Chains A and B, each alone.
Chain A
Amino acid sequence: DSGVTQTPKHLITATGQRVTLRCSPRSGDLSVYWYQQSLDQGLQFLIQYYNGEERAKGNILERFSAQQFPDLHSELNLSSLELGDSALYFCASSAPLSGGAPDTQYFGPGTRLTVL
């Protein structure tokens, strides 16, 4: 168990819908990252937050957005869903407040999104 939690574990929805994926980082970690894993694209970085602020953006579509709240949990919002958005979405955390290696990312179990 990495200490990173993600909900829900599975999500099945229809095209055009909007969903929210939730992530709670390891206790004390300040950074949250979102990744998408699909068969054709592999593991792709979407976005990073550090202590509530957006830090970096990767291959994130305009239909997708995220935020990190004061308690450091994060949500990834996916809207106007398309069939191609079906994937495994991972959240990772790193950068503990004290001690540890700030550069090691620990991953949650993922949310498997199926768009029908």
Chain B
Amino acid sequence: AQKVTQAQTEISVVEKEDVTLDCVYETRDTTYYLFWYKQPPSGELVFLIRRNSFDEQNEISGRYSWNFQKSTSSFNFTITASQVVDSAVYFCALSVPWDSGSARQLTFGSGTQLTVLP
């Protein structure tokens, strides 16, 4: 069974501050995928990033960066110079693949509510 833990329930920062959202996962599978999704106040779930278990390279996309460390089973997400529009709930998730064709269901963490104050 898989488990994803997001220990930070709520984080509040002032605009332009950097903020890191933590994610710790558990799985016995050697091949797995990790994801971050954003849920803004409007409610939809927006895909941000996918990382597979064989790729430990960190990734940067604009103000967003992700730090994947298999040694600590963590996949943390950092927003640099936060903006009010970053206010949302952020979910970390994990899935393991079927043998072929499709992915199994996502196991989500409980989410972190990020509030960026002007």
Interface, chain A (partner B; CB < 8 A): 2, 30-31, 33, 35, 42-43, 45, 48, 50, 55-56, 58, 88, 90, 92, 94-95, 101-110, 112
Contact = CB atoms under 8 A, between A and B. Distances in A.
A101 to B, nearest CB: 6
A58 B33 CA distance: 19
Contact of A107 (B47, B101, B110): B47
A102 B101 contact: yes
Interface stretch (B37-45, B56-64, B78-86): B37-45
27 contacts: A2-B44, A2-B46, A33-B105, A42-B110, A43-B108, A45-B107, A50-B101, A55-B98, A56-B104, A58-B105, A94-B102, A95-B101, A95-B102, A95-B103, A102-B103, A103-B50, A103-B52, A104-B33, A104-B50, A105-B35, A105-B103, A105-B106, A107-B37, A108-B44, A109-B43, A110-B43, A110-B45
**Chain B interface: which size bin?**
20 to 34
Q: Which of B33, B37, B102, B106 has the most A CB atoms < 10 Å from its CB?
A: B102
B77 interface: no
Interface in B67-114: 91, 95, 97-98, 101-108, 110-111
Interface of B: 33, 35, 37, 43-47, 50, 52, 91, 95, 97-98, 101-108, 110-111
B50 A101 contact: yes
Nearest to A46: B105
B103 A45 contact: no
B103 A94 contact: yes
A23 to B, nearest CB: 13
B97 A103 contact: yes
